[in-house]
Amino acid sequence: MTDTDAAFEPVAARIESDLTELSGIRAPDHPGWTREVFSEPYRDARDWVAARMRSVGLEVRRDGAGNVVGVLPGRSPAAPALVTGSHTDTVNGGGRFDGTVGVLGALEVVRLLRESGTQLTRDLVVVDFLGEESNDWGLSCLGSRAVAGELRAEDLDRRDGAGQRLGDRYAGFGLDPAAVLAERWLTRRPLHGYLELHIEQGPLLEQRGAAIGVVTAIAGIERLLASFEGRPDHAGTRPMHDRRDAMVAAAHAVLAVHREGCGAPPPGVATATQVVNDRHAPNVVPASVRLRAEMRGIDAGWLAATKQRLAQDILTQAQALGVDVTFDWTSDNKIVPSARSIQDAVARAAARAGLAWEAVPSGATHDAAHLAPWCPMGMIFVPSRAGRSHCPEEWTDITDIAAGVRALADTLRALDAQEDLVADSR
Ligand code: GLV
Ligand code: MN
Ligand code: MN
């Protein structure tokens, strides 16, 4: 048995204890486990993560983009580094496992390496990426986007529903917006590979009785902000045939989005996520309504065709109601396949550990998608109970998390030992 074949047994109780501590840091006045980007609980949680990284023996820094970065030095400082990690922000009313499992799992890997006296050839870089969840500025994965050089100056001028500039929000969080844009470390140093452990957030692994998901691709996303402008009128006196009701136009759009999702090739989906009436008086015909919607899939042709069809459908319905509509496609996350070399390495590690695995696509997006242009990328999924996620009921058994950490540890050691990883996704 070679060094990389020897099993590392994660200590489930340690991971569970970390999870419990981190889960305790949340917004008390929000449902579920809420730690939204730039919030005070999020700031506290990341201080906790930095301290925990230090306590397991990582050299810790905050990069200019707001990511918490811990490095476990390898034997050959010149060798391209291996990167792992995830995020610790949550959606409003979210759960305890989305993102945190990848960060805390990586810390357990570091403990196992140090306790066994194993020094990797390469540096192991553990990252808690800033603000992975989508936000009111319509941009997910803030930290990984920035280090990949994908965050643009004009993105900092985006405004949220309350009119606040994204750049000002960064500054309020103690980050210099110019430094955020300049922090492009992914583009400046060669990396060996990126591997992220994450909960599946969907039902496939549970349905198929698999402990490990080998992620084949991360779905692409088209996000739409449609603004409907009608005419305000007295809701009690304006006759029905003489209205320009923006809410009705938005309602048609909600159903159009839903129809597109129902007709999508699996695992494609489409969701209208927000409808906001900017005047919201209870007795006024709605005149200014904003709709947010998103479509996801791993079929580029479907995504492109749906975008066009949907815009035409929404426009036609709005015109028939005398309502103007403008479209702002706020992000276009491309479909990102995982590297074949890393998929194979994860599958081999799972098989060696006697863990049943399945190849699955990811409907959720991840920081991994923004690492992929810069190094071979792969992801390991662990099952989500009943496929629930982005809600307080989100749950993954600690034994399943420990199995995922074992696959993460074994795969990272195997990747470390390989000379060159092929980024090829075929
Ligand atoms: C993140 O969880 C996303 O897929 O929106
Ligand atoms: Mn996540
Ligand atoms: Mn999420």
340 and 320 within one domain: no
Collapsed DSSP state (helix, strand, coil) of residue 331? strand
Q: Is 134 in the pocket of ligand 1 (CB under 6 A)?
A: yes
Q: Is 140 in the pocket of ligand 1 (CB under 6 A)?
A: yes
Residue 1 has pLDDT above 60, yes or no: no
Do 193 and 123 form a contact (C-beta atoms < 8 A)? no
Question: Hey, how many other C-beta atoms are within 10 angstroms of the C-beta on 147?
Answer: 28
Tokens of 126: 């553990």
pLDDT band at 296 (very low <50, low <70, confident <90, very high): very high
Split into its structural domains, the chain has a count of 2
Distance 37 CA to ligand 2 centre (A): 13
pLDDT tens across 113-172, in order? 999 999 999 999 999 999 999 898 988 999 999 999 999 999 999 999 899 999 999 999
276 and 159 within one domain: no
Do 82 and 122 form a contact (C-beta atoms < 8 A)? yes
What is 176-238 written as a DSSP string? -HHHHHH--GGGTS-EEEEEEEEE--SSHHHHHT-SEEEEEEEPEEEEEEEEEE----BTTTS
pLDDT band at 92 (very low <50, low <70, confident <90, very high): very high
185 and 53 within one domain: yes
The secondary element (H helix, E strand) that includes residue 311 is: helix 300-320
Q: Return the residue matching tokens 């201080």.
A: 47
Q: Is 365 in the pocket of ligand 1 (CB under 6 A)?
A: yes
The share of the chain scoring above pLDDT 90, in percent, equals: 93
Collapsed DSSP state (helix, strand, coil) of residue 292? strand
Closest CA to 158 of 175, 177, 176: 177
Query: What is the average pLDDT across 28-56?
Result: 97
Do 258 and 273 form a contact (C-beta atoms < 8 A)? no
Task: Write out the residue range of the structural domain in which residue 233 sits.
Answer: 220-333
CATH classification at residue 135: 3.40.630.10
307 and 169 within one domain: no
Collapsed DSSP state (helix, strand, coil) of residue 100? helix
- The helices-and-strands tally (H runs, E runs) of the chain is 12, 13
Residue 17 is predicted with a pLDDT of 98
Residue 3 has pLDDT above 50, yes or no: no
Question: 423 versus 160: which is more confidently predicted?
Answer: 160
Residue 5 has pLDDT above 60, yes or no: no
CATH classification at residue 262: 3.30.70.360
Collapsed DSSP state (helix, strand, coil) of residue 324? strand
Distance 182 CA to ligand 3 centre (A): 26
How do beta strands 191-199 and 220-229 pair? unpaired
340 and 250 within one domain: no
Amino acid found at 335: I
Cα 246 to Cα 65: distance, rounded to the nearest angstrom: 39
> Which residue has the CA at smallest separation from atom 4 of ligand 1?
364
313 and 296 within one domain: yes
